Chains A and B, each alone.
Chain A
Amino acid sequence: MPIALIVGGGMAGRAAAVTLRRVGYQGEVVLVGDESTPPYDRPPLSKSVIVGTADLDKVIKQTLETYAEDGIELRLGVAVTAADADAKTATLSDGSEIAWDALVIATGCAPREVPIPGLDKPGVFRITRIDEALAIQEVLASGPKRLAIIGGGFIGMEAAAAAVAHGHTATVIEAAPEPMARPLGLTVAERVLQWATDRGVEVLAGVGVEEVLGDDRASGVKLASGDIIDADLVICAIGQVPRLGLAQLLGCAEEAGGVQVDASMQTSVAGVYAVGDIAAFPSKWADEDRIRIEHAAVAIGHGQTAAEHIATGEGLFEDLPSFWSDQGDITLNMVGVARPDDEIIWRGDQDLPACTAFYLREGKLRAAMSVGDMKTLRGVRKLFAAGVSPTAEQLADPDVDLAALAAAG
């Protein structure tokens, strides 16, 4: 019986395993993950999990038993230590060996290492794994706390917004002058930042962290400016780097900081697929030959595509990239591939409760970020599907029905 081996128990890996069964793959499905928890949804970690409002049964979607019932063998708490592309074998950290017919690498990202002294102190948390998020939850559960959050990306801003909404105080420290400007562009990032500060999140931008203070336990951070931010806990959310070790062991070609794949998610090595954060994939929605996207919806789509291709020999990833960011009571939904220097056209008055920012490049619609307006976003999806790019005036006018424009062609 053929064996499909999936390495990585994140969202892309789980999607691959579940989809293999859904499309009727006849072989064995083995998923190897280095965490002890079965695959779980990662987005809630920086939001509902840390503040204790998450339904963990929903976050951790299945148990070992139900995976077994579905014909998926989970090997948890083990890593792949060696692999041979010719023999098609992988050696695990528990000493066992698995032969594969198809291999899906879904190893995701590891937290970025930064040389800030004191990050190893108790009371400093990362937020990339569920055990870490639950450790934060335990601290926050004992009453209002002061959080110092290093890093003003989506994860840091989400954690800050969730904490503030639950009675804590949060200071976000971002070394770059404009938090979230890279994914959202400057003018949109400024609006989102304003909404966060309106809700009580303190943001210090353009200043680095010199060290984490505290004797036995983190008591705050010292900034490069010399200022000291007192804190009961410190969250380090300064980004992540793709985990390429296994792909490199197998000799997979690399591109764009990740593993080069074709539209079926196959790497340069026959029978080896790469999905999720690590995959540099072709997308007709991007200018580049291949892009990497570190967001859940894309990761799930990658896993589904690889599984379909393994099972049926068909399947291409052609999804319009999308992501969301829940920041307290605000949800940003974005579709398309934006660049920081895109021209921004707003629909609505650039404010809550509902508005949309359109991203144009060379006059053409490339992406949209919407808050509280799913109808407009749905219209944008239809425009992309139809290959229709409206004028800036049409985009800005709330009375213009984008879905109708798409239908008219």
Chain B
Amino acid sequence: MAQVSIGSLSDFPEGTPTFAEADGTRLCIVRVGDKVHAICDDCPHAEASLSEGDFLADDMAVECPLHGSAFNLESGDPDAPPATEAVQVFNVTVDGDTVLVEV
């Protein structure tokens, strides 16, 4: 496990899933207020990039743009099929303005 910087807070617009890479790990980043969430960018179901999907604020989830399973940012669990597996959730710390992801 290493803390890897993926940029500064301003790189991640509020409520907008954004792609980032940390030591080769593909991530979907969502900033909600002061908190930054990181999940694996690859949908566990099919070949889709979750950072191209929409953030669903009511569900604290990112919706896969391909088939619509929505993944909770805290648990990684999908809300409904077709996905049945959770996405990996990564720990994020914000140090000053720097966003660090534990990968």
Contacts and interface: CB of A to CB of B under 8 A. Distances in A.
Interface of A: 15, 18, 41, 43-44, 48, 53, 55, 58, 61, 296-297, 300-301, 319, 322, 324, 326, 331, 333, 374-375, 377-378
A296 B47 contact: no
B84 A374 contact: no
A301 B66 CA distance: 19
B46 interface: yes
Nearest to A19: B84
B82 A300 contact: yes
Contacts of B66: 324, 326, 331
A171 to B, nearest CB: 26
B47 A53 contact: yes
Chain B interface size range:
10 to 19
Interface string B31-55: 0000000000000111100000110
A44 B31 CA distance: 33
B13 interface: no
A374 B67 CA distance: 8
A378 B44 contact: no
B82 A377 contact: no
Interface of B: 44-47, 53-54, 56, 63, 65-68, 80-82, 84-85
Contact of B84 (A18, A322, A331): A18
Given A331-B66, A374-B65, A61 B81 contact: no
Contact of B54 (A44, A296, A326, A375): A375
Contact of A333 (B56, B67, B81, B84): B67
A43 B46 CA distance: 10
Given A296-B81, A297-B82, A300-B84, A374 B68 contact: yes
Given A331-B67, A333-B68, A374 B54 contact: yes
A374 B68 CA distance: 7
B54 A377 contact: no
Contacts of A322: 68, 81
A58 B68 contact: no
10 shortest A-B CB distances, which residue pairs? A297-B81, A300-B81, A297-B82, A324-B67, A331-B66, A296-B82, A374-B68, A301-B81, A300-B84, A374-B63
